[in-house]
């Protein structure tokens, strides 16, 4: 009898152990394949993962301005040489205008500026007046802007100067010392073989 009881107890114990094993092994432990989050399928407008949305290509050309644009059209252009020539032209024009030297002015002025200068010189001639000018100090020239528009290049230079004017007329002579500040714009046709720059505009400037 005790042997039978022992066998029954062992059977019950085995059943309990097997139930516990099933309870543990039958559970879902860790991440299962079906638990992995699925990525959304790419839509019809999505680019492949290994390709950019925008195809690569050459960068758009950058429009050059100022000195870079001028040197692109005229690689030989030199700022220092131009400024030296501009100061020389300034002195020549101021002197020629005072003396009524039309021949010199015509080689340095655009027709529109020449017309304005000619009007003043004629009024002076009609009044019987003459004038001469001398520079007290060499004029100062500062480059302000460079612009290229098609085949036309324009450079604006600000001039500061001190000069002495001597006038003679029916009422006698007079001496007048002046300090001037002007912005002169020079222009050149880059498509022309003529390397000369002409004065196309004169404006008052800040001293």
Residue 12 counted as domain residue:
no
Instruction: Output the CA–CA distances (angstroms, integers) from residue 186 to 10, 75, 89, 166, 182, in the order listed.
Output: 117, 18, 10, 28, 13
Residue 33 counted as domain residue:
no
Q: What would the pLDDT profile of 76-133 be if each residue is shown by its tens digit?
A: 999 999 999 999 999 999 999 999 999 999 999 999 999 999 999 999 999 999 999 9
Q: What is the CATH number of the domain that holds 118?
A: 3.10.450.240
Q: What would the pLDDT profile of 133-160 be if each residue is shown by its tens digit?
A: 999 999 999 999 999 999 999 999 999 9
Residue 55 counted as domain residue:
no
pLDDT of residue 159: 98
Residue 1 counted as domain residue:
no
Number of domains observed in the structure of the chain? 1
- Model pTM score: 0.69
Domain that holds residue 80: 66-204
Residue 18 counted as domain residue:
no
Reported as type and span, the H/E element at residue 119 is helix 111-126
């Amino acid at each position: 009898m005790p042997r039978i009881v022992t066998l029954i107890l062992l059977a019950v114990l085995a059943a309990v152990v097997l139930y516990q094993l099933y309870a543990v092994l039958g559970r879902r432990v860790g991440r299962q394949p079906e638990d992995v989050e699925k990525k959304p399928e790419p839509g019809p407008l999505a680019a492949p993962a290994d390709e950019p949305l925008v195809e690569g290509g050459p960068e758009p050309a950058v429009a050059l301005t100022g000195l870079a644009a001028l040197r692109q059209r005229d690689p030989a252009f030199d700022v220092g040489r131009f400024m030296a020539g501009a100061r020389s032209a300034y002195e020549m024009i101021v002197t020629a205008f005072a003396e009524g030297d039309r021949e010199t002015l015509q080689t340095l002025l655009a027709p529109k500026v020449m017309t304005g200068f000619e009007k003043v010189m004629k009024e002076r001639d009609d009044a019987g007046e003459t004038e001469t000018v001398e520079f007290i100090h060499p004029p100062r020239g500062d480059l302000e802007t460079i612009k290229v528009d098609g085949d036309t290049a324009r450079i604006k230079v600000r001039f500061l100067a001190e000069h002495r004017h001597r006038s003679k007329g029916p009422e006698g002579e007079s001496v007048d010392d002046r300090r001037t500040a002007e912005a002169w714009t020079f222009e050149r046709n880059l498509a022309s073989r003529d390397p000369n720059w002409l004065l196309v505009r004169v404006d008052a400037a800040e001293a």
